Amino acid sequence: MTAVDFLWAIPVFGLLVFIHELGHFAVAKYFDIRVHEFAIGFGPMLAGFQRGETRYNLRLIPLGGFVRMAGMEDGDQEEPRGFAKKSVGARAAVIAAGPIMNFVLAALLYSAFLFLVGQEQVQVPRIGDVPATCQAVVGGQSVARLCPAYAAGLRPGDLVKSINGAPVGDWQDILTTVTASDGKPQTFVVQRGSETREFHLQPVRSPDNRWLVGIAVEIRREPLGRALVQGPVLTAKTLGAMVVGLADMVTGRVKPQLAGPVGITRTIAEQAARGWDNLLLLTAFLSINLGLFNLLPIPALDGSRLVFMGVELVRGRQLDPQRENMVHFVGFLILVGLMLFITYGEVIRH
């Protein structure tokens, strides 16, 4: 990784925050809510300009943003075009629009990835790539050597029919068999065009302690129309997996794994060093993560505001704005404290 790789965190964070706040802003404008400020970042102002009734600012700390609307602060609830004067449905739409825009961004990024790069064809056991060299552990040292598949004569496009006499139905069958090989020789029967050929491969152990033969799954680019359909599908699947993972952490089934700004920045740098396609996928993943996180019923987050609106619907009247703002303020302080705690731990570890 280089210093430039770490700098990729700035546009990635900026894009995620901008899209999120743009959702709040656009829907607020749709419902004719007066917006005092649209800001990316917190703290002192670095640059900005005034257009109409709204001030657009770039602030020093690039770890979030906000849309400051009339009717959301103490003493401002009587503003005729204020947030507080709108119906519960309108206010809920404004609040939910931020996380929803993060999901939309993720869907578009996934669609772009499927169209420009493609996706692994795991349903079909067709070989997509056979690199000439592999990193393997020999005599306790990691060395570059000929990959077993390349040395044996396997080539891209070969369709794996069986391994050691057992039929192969999809790519997972190949992974399972090779992983469990324990280094024993493997007999691959493949179809190449109209011919059926047999190859004998000796798996090697990789530096991360996996057995491999040096083949990669076929990757196929999707047509634009299919990519635009599959992007939202992949977003929904990823979101569902995140919800399940979050539930497992809450119930104690798995150990909580939290990442702060330092950890996320390092992950962005790692993926940027591997290529723009990896960075694209990570940005989509982070966008879903940000959207889901903001929907949690934690004070100061969008999810808690939606919960308060639900209580308002049940009660038939608005909650005391001052008390609600105090709850959100305390929640904000707690979140900042948690972020600082996580960041301190990440700095100490690295």
Residue where one domain finishes, among candidates 158, 193, 220: 220
Q: Is 318 found in the same domain as 293?
A: yes
Catalytic pick among 21, 218, 222, 346: 21
Position 72 scores a pLDDT of: 82
pTM of the predicted model, to two decimals? 0.82
Position 332 scores a pLDDT of: 75
Distance, CA of 294 to CA of 288 (rounded, Å): 10
Mean of the per-residue pLDDT values of the chain:
89
Q: Say if residues 225 and 101 touch (Cβ distance below 8 Å).
A: no
pLDDT in tens, 294-308: 999 888 889 999 998
CA dihedral (264, 268, 271, 272) in degrees, to 10, reads -170
Q: Is 39 found in the same domain as 134?
A: no
Q: Determine whether 21 is an active site residue.
A: yes
Q: Is 43 found in the same domain as 132?
A: no
Best CA proximity match to 145, nearest among 127, 155, 132: 132
The secondary structure element, H or E, covering residue 143 is strand 141-146
* Containing structural domain, residue 134: 127-220
Q: Is 246 found in the same domain as 98?
A: yes
Q: Is residue 270 part of a domain?
A: yes
Q: Is 239 found in the same domain as 112?
A: yes
Mean pLDDT score, 232-239: 96
What is the domain count for the chain? 2
Residue where one domain finishes, among candidates 191, 220, 249: 220
Q: Is 146 found in the same domain as 58?
A: no
User: C-alpha 273: how far from its chain's center?
Assistant: 17
Q: Is 142 found in the same domain as 282?
A: no
Position 88 scores a pLDDT of: 92
Cα 238 to Cα 14, 225, 243: the distances in Å are 22, 21, 9
179-193, 203-217, 247-261: segment of lowest average pLDDT: 247-261
Q: Is 176 found in the same domain as 76?
A: no
Residue where one domain finishes, among candidates 220, 241, 269: 220
Q: Is 166 found in the same domain as 138?
A: yes
Q: State the CATH number of the domain containing residue 194.
A: 2.30.42.10
pLDDT in tens, 317-329: 777 777 777 777 7
